[in-house]
């Protein structure tokens, strides 16, 4: 039977030779070590891997040398089997060969090598070996902390590790703060995994190395939107003039997160060429993009943005509306008195009849903000200061809103007229004390009180007095 199995080793069929090797290994006879070692030169990798496993089954120190030689095989599966086999044999003579295997190009081989070394009780002798051990164990941050000697071992992981391992290796390289990490990180930009590309972009963006701008720019058109958004953020951090064009292109990206990131980046760069495009983005369908555009325009500080930003005070999303005042203040601390704000009043007034409740409310508040100036005394007559035209436009709009079908709008209009202190609203407010809604009546009475209105007769005085007893008006 042994004779026939040995004859099978000469078969032209690789599968037949592999089966023969496995049969010899199962016999467990040390005298077969030489025969099996010879099969490590077989042209077929699966046969060579079977020979390694068969030699391991012999559990004899005599196989250490051929297994150590197999660690140099061209096929990683053979090298992995050899590394695992040497650990099972448990002979210290395998240590040197296994330490060298910690630098293998295959992550699987490195992992098997460190496992075998641990089973042999091996301890690193210097920093280089400590780095090799940490990398083989997947402790990439620990390896990076040991110094620049970790760059090459971590770069090896980028060539053969799993997607998770490659991402972790990139993150470790990115935290090293060494200019030599740029080369392996640039190579990672072409990784098949979007997570790895994203990590590499983020790391390169933190290097402050102008050389990375050109390689990063094409990533703004990557097929993955997370990669594109990260590329935008990285180019922003680099603060390089060559970043501007790619960032401008990203303003029209299909994904909202990329558009928002591009707007934010151009705002940080205070890029004046972005103003017109950012103004256009104030109408973006995504509110995060609109908010980013608002903040970017504030950072750039171009007066052309005042009027469109004023109109954003009536945006349907509170997150957008709340960002507008600060942006306007960055452009002009007295924006309420500016000509662009005045030009926005007619469109704000038109929004008082919008079908959306919050748009109507926001428009009313915006108009009140623009027209919120000191009361005009009746004795002055006419409009004595430059703000009168603006105030009159707002007052007229609010007086008209007192007749709105929505009780909340009527109430808000009455409150606004009281705060504005415009005496021309007295008659309209007096009529609103007869509004069908009780709280509108209360708001009108309070507004008239703020205007120091004197009732025309005892009935009006009694109505106002009763209404003013209610000092709290629901929001």
Confidence (pLDDT) at 255: 94
Confidence (pLDDT) at 378: 37
Position 474 pLDDT exceeds 50:
no
Confidence (pLDDT) at 439: 85
Confidence (pLDDT) at 379: 33
Residue 244 exposed, middle or buried by CB count within 10 Å (0-12, 13-18, 19+):
middle
Its CATH class, for the domain covering 338-475, is mainly alpha
In sequence order, what are the beta bridge partners of 376? 422
Query: What's the whole-number average pLDDT of the chain?
Result: 87
Position 102 pLDDT exceeds 50:
yes
Q: What percent of the chain has pLDDT over 90?
A: 51
User: Range with the lowest mean pLDDT among 24-28, 106-110, 355-359, 377-381?
Assistant: 377-381
The CATH label, of 2.120.10.30, 3.40.50.300, 3.30.420.40, 1.25.10.10, for the domain at 1-123 is 1.25.10.10
Confidence (pLDDT) at 316: 84
Q: What is the largest CA-CA distance in the chain?
A: 129
Q: DSSP assignment of 222-273, as one string? A: -SSHHHHHHHHHHHHHHT-GGGHHHHHHHTT-SSHHHHHHHHHHHHHHT-GG
How many residues in the chain?
475
pLDDT in tens, 176-230: 988 899 999 999 999 999 999 999 999 999 887 888 999 999 999 999 999 999 9
Q: DSSP assignment of 90-123, as one string? A: T-GGGHHHHHHHTT-S-HHHHHHHHHHHHHTT--
pLDDT band at 318 (very low <50, low <70, confident <90, very high): confident
pLDDT in tens, 380-419: 334 444 455 556 667 777 888 888 888 888 888 888 888 7
Confidence (pLDDT) at 165: 94
Position 254 pLDDT exceeds 90:
yes
Fold match flag (1-123 vs 338-475)? yes
pLDDT in tens, 415-457: 888 877 777 888 888 888 888 888 888 888 988 888 888 887 7
Q: State both tokens at 363.
A: 């428009």
pLDDT in tens, 154-190: 999 999 889 999 999 999 999 998 889 999 999 999 9
Q: Where are the domains of the chain?
A: 1-123, 338-475
């Amino acid at each position: 039977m042994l004779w026939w199995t040995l004859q099978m080793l000469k078969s032209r069929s690789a599968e037949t030779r592999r089966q023969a090797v496995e049969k010899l290994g199962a016999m467990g006879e040390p005298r077969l070590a030489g025969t099996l070692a010879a099969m490590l030169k077989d042209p077929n990798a699966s046969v060579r891997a079977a020979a390694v496993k068969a030699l391991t089954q012999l559990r004899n120190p005599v196989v250490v040398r051929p297994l150590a030689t197999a660690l140099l095989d061209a096929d990683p599966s053979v090298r992995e089997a050899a590394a695992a086999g040497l650990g099972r044999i448990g002979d210290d003579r395998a240590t040197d060969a296994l330490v060298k295997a910690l630098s293998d190009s295959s992550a699987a081989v490195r992992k098997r090598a460190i496992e075998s070394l641990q089973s042999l009780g091996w301890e690193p002798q210097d920093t280089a070996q400590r780095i090799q051990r940490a990398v083989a164990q997947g402790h990439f941050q620990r390896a990076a902390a040991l110094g620049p000697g970790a760059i090459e071992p971590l770069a090896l992981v980028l060539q053969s590790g799993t997607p998770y391992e490659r991402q972790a290796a990139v993150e470790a390289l990115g935290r090293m703060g060494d200019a030599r990490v740029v080369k392996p990180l640039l190579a990672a930009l072409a990784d098949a995994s979007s997570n790895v590309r994203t990590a590499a972009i983020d790391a390169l963006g933190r290097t402050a190395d102008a050389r990375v701008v050109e390689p990063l720019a094409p990533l703004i058109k990557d097929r993955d939107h997370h990669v594109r958004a990260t590329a935008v953020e990285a180019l922003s951090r680099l603060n390089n003039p060559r970043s501007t064009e790619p960032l401008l292109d990203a303003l029209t990206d299909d994904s909202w997160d990329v558009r928002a990131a591009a707007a934010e980046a151009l705002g940080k760069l205070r890029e004046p060429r972005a103003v017109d495009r950012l103004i256009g983005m104030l109408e973006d369908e995504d509110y995060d993009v609109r908010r980013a555009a608002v903040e970017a325009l504030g950072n750039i500080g171009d007066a052309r943005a005042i009027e469109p930003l004023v109109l954003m005070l009536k945006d349907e999303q509170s997150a957008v509306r709340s960002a507008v005042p600060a942006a306007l203040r960055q452009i002009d601390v007295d924006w309420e008195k500016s000509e662009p704000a005045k030009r926005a009043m007619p469109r704000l007034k038109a929004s008082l009849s919008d079908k959306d409740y919050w748009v109507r409310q926001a428009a009313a508040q915006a108009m009140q903000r623009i027209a919120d100036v000191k009361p005009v005394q009746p004795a002055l007559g006419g409009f004595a200061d430059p703000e009168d035209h603006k105030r009159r436009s707002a007052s007229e709009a609010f007086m008209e809103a007192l007749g709105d079908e929505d009780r909340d709008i009527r109430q808000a209009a009455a409150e606004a007229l009281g705060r504005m202190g415009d005496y021309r609203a007295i008659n309209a407010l007096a009529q609103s004390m007869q509004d069908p809604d009780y709280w509108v009546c209360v708001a009108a009475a309070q507004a008239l009180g703020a205007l120091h209105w004197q009732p025309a007769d005892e009935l009006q005085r009694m109505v106002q007095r009763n209404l003013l007893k209610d000092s709290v008006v629901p929001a």
